[in-house]
Amino acid sequence: MTDIDFQRILEGIAAEIRPVLAEGRVADYIPALARVPRDRFGMALSTVDGRAFAVGDADARFSIQSISKVFTLTLALQAAGGRLWERVGREPSGNPFNSLVQLEYEHGIPRNPFINAGALVVLDCIMDGTDDPAASILAFARAAAGAPDVDFDEEVAASEAAWGFRNRALANFLKSYGNLRHDADAVLDVYFRHCALALSCRELAQAFLHLANGGRSPATGVAVTSPRQTKRINALMLTCGLYDAVGNFAYRVGMAGKSGVGGGIVAVVPGAFSVCVWSPALDASGNSLAGTLALELLTTRTGISIF
């Protein structure tokens, strides 16, 4: 891997995807997301042997949205361990991320921790062990990213709360099945805030690097997750991390990844590198259109993927 010129590859990708930035649709369900210019594009890559590369708007912070679900899943696995799986499944859903249908057919057990209903249950687990779950999530994100000024975007959080009827429906639906222990409004409050974390590509690549390195952060030497947890989080990202386009992403890209409607995608190849790409316009599945293409080019040009 040391013979690969990652910087040149990233620059080639940035040039090649430029025309694609005109395609797709920027998320517009809240004003703070809708006003992000569609021509933004950033990409950052960190290798397990300690090198880092970046291109474009790689230092601009954006709303990471569902990417934060990997942070909370990690916290919940550390807190609840295998008991988490009594309350949430780990199968791809085959349905949109905020669907209530499968939840009803499966009696209140969300299909996996990355659909919205599953993320609410994950937060509920975290809340068992802390009085200030938002602070715990923030502390984790700051430490993982090595960026002590990472914070929630309170405007985004407030907008999410104001327009979050579907998530409010999900939380009350979970509550009706007894699969939410804490007050629905309290869980939702944390949910809306943790979706509003703002990080840059460079920070996110750093924050996910331990997942490419058996759980240990090359930068700090700290074991963020155990080898077993690492393998499992990667498996969950690969099978459930890209909404209802996981098969397509595995087929085209071949990395374990997690996307957010803010246009970010973080992905890892175990033993090799973590990478984050950001471009706000989305494809029909809600994943960054140019971002997916950039990652596909990356695996094609480096010849590195998990398959």
Residues 51 and 64: their CA atoms lie apart, in Å, by: 23
Residue 281: CB minimum distance to a copy of itself, A: 22
Residues 84 and 68: their CA atoms lie apart, in Å, by: 18
Residue 162: CB minimum distance to a copy of itself, A: 11
Residue 37 near residue 229 (C-beta atoms within 8 A): no
Catalytic residue among 69, 150, 187, 275: 69
In DSSP notation, 149-161 reads T-EE-HHHHHHHH
Residue 209: CB minimum distance to a copy of itself, A: 15
Catalytic residue among 26, 243, 268, 274: 243
Instruction: Compare residues 139 and 186 and give the one whose CB is closer to a copy of itself.
Output: 186
Residue 179 near residue 123 (C-beta atoms within 8 A): no
Instruction: Compare residues 15 and 235 and give the one whose CB is closer to a copy of itself.
Output: 235
Q: Name 288's bridge partners.
A: 282
Q: Annotated catalytic, 69?
A: yes
Q: Annotated catalytic, 175?
A: no
> C-alpha dihedral over 273, 279, 282, 287, to 10 degrees?
10
Residue 25: CB minimum distance to a copy of itself, A: 19
Residues 243 and 292: their CA atoms lie apart, in Å, by: 13
Q: Annotated catalytic, 105?
A: no
**Cβ of 36: how many Cβ atoms within 10 Å?**
20
Q: Annotated catalytic, 231?
A: no
Residue 294: CB minimum distance to a copy of itself, A: 17
Q: Annotated catalytic, 191?
A: yes
Catalytic residue among 187, 190, 261, 269: 261
Residues 195 and 258: their CA atoms lie apart, in Å, by: 13
Residue 281 near residue 24 (C-beta atoms within 8 A): yes
Instruction: Compare residues 96 and 146 and give the one whose CB is closer to a copy of itself.
Output: 96
Which residues here bind a copy of itself, judged by CB under 8 A? 89-95, 99-105, 111-112, 165-166, 168-173, 175-176, 184, 230-232, 234-236, 238-240, 244-248, 250-251, 254, 256, 270, 305-307
Instruction: Compare residues 47 and 93 and give the one whose CB is closer to a copy of itself.
Output: 93
Residues known to be catalytic? 66, 69, 191, 243, 261
